[in-house]
Structure 1
Amino acid sequence: MTTLSWIDLVERNATEFGELVAGIDPYLPELPAFFDHRGDGSWIEDYVTFMLELLKGQVGFVKFQSAYFEACGLRGLTALSAGIAQAKANGMAVILDAKRGDIGSTAAAYARAYLTPASAGGSGDFEVDCLTVAPFMGPDTLEPFVDCSRSYGKGLFVLCRTSNPGAGWLQDKVAGNRLISEHVADLIANIGPPQEGAQRLSAIGAVIGATAVHEGRRLRQLMPRSIILAPGLGAQGADAATIGAMRGQFDGDLLLPVSRGLSAVVDRNLDADAYRNLVLERIATFKLLSTRRSGLARTSA
C-alpha cells in the first residue's frame, strides 16, 4: 500500500471534505458521563474510538493534542497510538499537536518518535503525517524535523503567531526592524523541501491564531505557499468571516482546527445518541461557516 505524503493528503482531503480539522482533546470533565460508566480509566479509549467512528466520512483532518493523552499516563499514550492508527485507516490526515522543539540529539529523537516510519528506524507507535513544532530556540532546532519532511513526505506546522493572549509578549517584539513573527515567517518560507514544485503547497506550514487576523494577513504575504493552521475558531471566539484574510492561492492552504467547540458539553447527562447528534450538528455548522468564508474569500480575491 502506497503511503501518501502530507501534501498529497492535504490536496485530496481538503477537496473532498473541506478545511475543518477535528481536534481530539480528551478531557473527561467536559465530556458526557456515559464515557466513564466503568470508572476504571478506560473512558479515554472509548472516547477516542467513539469520536473517530463519528468523524469518519465527515472530516479529512484530525488533530490529537498530545498533552491530554500524556496527562492520562500509559493508558492515555496507548489510546493515542491506537487513535492515530484508526484515523489513518479512516483515510484522515493526522496532525499531532505536541509543539516539540529542542536542541541537537533531543530534537532528532522527537523527529524519530513522531515522523519516522518503523521501516526507517522509528517505533511506528506515534508516527503521524504532520507535527507542530516550536522554533524559538533557533533554526538549527528545526533541522531534524525538516529532514524527516524531506525524507518521508511529512508535514510541519511551525509556531509563528499563536492565538493565546500573551503571544505578543515575544512574537510581536521588534528585532532588526521586524517583528519576531515575521522573522519566523521568513524562516518557514525558506526551509520548504526543495523538490516541491512552485505550483504546490509547501510541507512546512505555520501556526497562526485565527484571533490574530491582522497579523495573519501580513504573515500570509511572506508565506504564499505555506499551509496555515489557524486555531481559535470555536471556543476562542474567532470570527469565521474574517479568517479568509489568511487564505492564499492554493486549495487546502488554510486549515481550521476546532476541538472543544466540537466536543465539550455543559450537560454531562447526555446519552450516546444525543451526544452523537450534537457533535454531527456542530461539524455541519463549522463546515458551513468554512464554506461561506471560502466562497467569500475567493470571490473577493
Structure 2
Amino acid sequence: MTVLEPFGARLRRAMDERGPLCVGIDPHASLLAEWGLNDDVAGLERFSRTVVEATADRVAVLKPQSAFFERFGSRGWAVLEACVQEARAAGALVVMDAKRGDIGSTMAGYAEAFLHKDAPLFSDALTVSPYLGYGSLSPAVALARENGTGLFVLALTSNPEGGEVQHAVREDGRTVGATILAHLAMENAGEEPLGSFGAVVGATLGDLSSYDLDINGPLLAPGVGAQGATAADLPAVFGSALRNVVPNVSRGVLRHGPDVVALRDAADRFADEVRAAVAAG
C-alpha cells in the first residue's frame, strides 16, 4: 500500500468538494430502537451499513463512535471494520472516534490499531486525549506522519465537565486548552494547504475569541444539531478559523433513518447550511 497524501491535504479537498460536514455514526441502543432495529449485532450492522450507503458518497467525513461497536465484543469490532472499509471505499474520509490516550508503548499500540496502513481498522484520523500530557501523544503523531493520517486532539470540548481541566490556568497564565492548541499549531507549522493535526472544539461554547484557533489545522466541532448549535452560530464561535471547521452532526441526520433518501436529504441540508455559513462568515 502506498503512503497516502497527508490527511490535511485530503481533508481540505474533501471539504472544498463535498462541503465541510462530518456525520457521526452513533448506533446507541435508543437510536437503534427508533429505527425499529434490535439492540444486537444484526441491528448494529443494518444501522451502520445504511448510514454508509446514504452518506459516504456525499459528505466529507464519517465519524464512527467506536464505543457503540465495542459493546458487542468481537462481532461488533467486525462490523466496525466493515463500516470503515466501506465508507473509505465510497470516498468519505473516516475519523475514528475512540478518544484514545495513554503513554509509551500503550499509546503506540492504540495508534497502530487505527493509524497503521495495514491495520484492519485503518482510518484517516483518530480522536485522542492529551490529558496525560501532550507529549504522551508522540507515538500517534509519529505514526500519523508516517502513514499520511491525522489526529483530532481534545482541546475545548462541548461537555460541561471538560471545563474543570481545559479552562484550568497553568503557572504561565495560559489555560490547558490554549496550551493544547499551541502544541497543534506547532505540529502544523508550514503545512499546506492544511495541517493534519486538528483540535476538537465544541460548537456550543459561544465566544472563543480569547483562544487562538488558527492552528493551521482542522477543527472538529461537535454540537451542531441535537445539542443546540446551528450552522449560523459557527462564525461567531470560530471567527477567522471558520474555513477550517468541520462541524459534526449525528442525531440531526441519523434521526431521519432508516430511510436512505431521508438520510441523504438531511446530510445535504446540513452541508448546504454549513457551506452558506462559511461563505457568509
> 1:165/1:250 Cα in 2 relative to 1: closer, same or farther (>3 Å)?
closer
Pick one of 277, 285, 291 that aligns with 2:261: 277
Deviations 1:239-292 (A, max 9, x none): 3212124254685x1101111111136xxxx8x5xx223322321321222022
- The runs of 4+ residues in structure 1 deviating greater than 6 Å are none
Residue in 2 aligned with 1:121? Answer: none
Distance change in 2, residues 1:7/1:191 (3 Å): closer
Alignment of 1:89-128 (within 5 A): 89-118=89-118, 124-128=119-123
* Cα deviation 1:182-223 (Å, max 9, x = unaligned): 11111111133x7xx4542111110000011322x433x353
1:228 paired with 2:229, answer no
Show the counterpart of 1:80.
80
**Contact preservation (8 Å) 2:26, 2:65:** yes
Give, in whole Å, the separation in 2 of the partners of 1:278 and 1:6: 30
| 1:162 maps onto 2:157 in alignment | yes
Structure 1 residue matching 2:45: 3-state secondary structure: helix
- Relative to structure 1, the CA distance from residue 218 to residue 149 in structure 2 (aligned partners, 3 Å threshold; closer, same or farther) is farther
Take 2:213 and 2:98, find their aligned partners in 1: how far apart are those partners?
25
Corresponding residue of 2:248:
257
User: Which runs of structure 2 are paired with 1:45-56 in the superposition (5 Å)?
Assistant: 45-56=45-56
Cα displacement string for residues 96-147 of structure 1 (whole angstroms, at most 9, x for unaligned residues): 01110101110010011111112xxxxx211101001111111221100110
Q: Is the 8 A contact 2:8 2:150 kept in 1?
A: yes
Between the aligned residues of both structures, percent identity stands at 35
Deviation at 1:35, TM superposition (A): 3.5
Q: CA deviation at 1:33?
A: 4.5
Please give the alpha-carbon distance, in whole angstroms, between the structure 2 residues aligned to 1:91 and 1:289. Answer: 21
Alignment root-mean-square deviation, CA: 2.1
Partner of 2:272: 288
- 2:69 and 2:8 map into 1 onto residues whose CA distance is 26
Pair member with larger Rg: 1
Unaligned runs of 5+ in 2: none
Q: CA deviation at 1:231?
A: 0.4
| Alignment of structure 1 residues 144-163 onto 2, 5 Å | 144-163=139-158
Of the candidates 197, 206, 226, which is equivalent to residue 199 of structure 2?
A: 206
State the alpha-carbon separation in 1 of the partners of residues 231 and 147 from structure 2: 34
CA contact 1:158–1:207 (8 Å) conserved in 2:
yes
TM-score by structure 2 length?
A: 0.91
Distance in 2 of aligned mates of 1:229 and 1:40? 30
May I ask how many residue pairs the two structures share in their alignment? 277
Taking the aligned partners of 1:229 and 1:236, their CA distance within structure 2 comes to 15
Q: Structure 1 pair 163/222, CA: closer, same or farther in 2 (3 Å)? A: closer
Q: Secondary structure at the match of 1:135?
A: coil
Unaligned 5+ residue runs, structure 1? 119-123
Q: CA deviation at 1:71?
A: 1.4
Residues 69 and 77, structure 2, Cα contact 8 Å, conserved in 1? yes
Please show how residues 6-21 of structure 1 align to structure 2 within 5 Å.
6-21=7-22
Confirm or deny: 8 A CA contact 1:159 1:207 kept in the other structure.
yes
Return the offset for 1:75: 1.8
**Aligned amino acid, residue 262 of structure 2:** L
3-state secondary structure, aligned to 2:229: coil
- SS of the equivalent of 1:167 reads helix
Opposite residue 291 of structure 1, the aligned amino acid is: R
AA aligned opposite 2:197: I
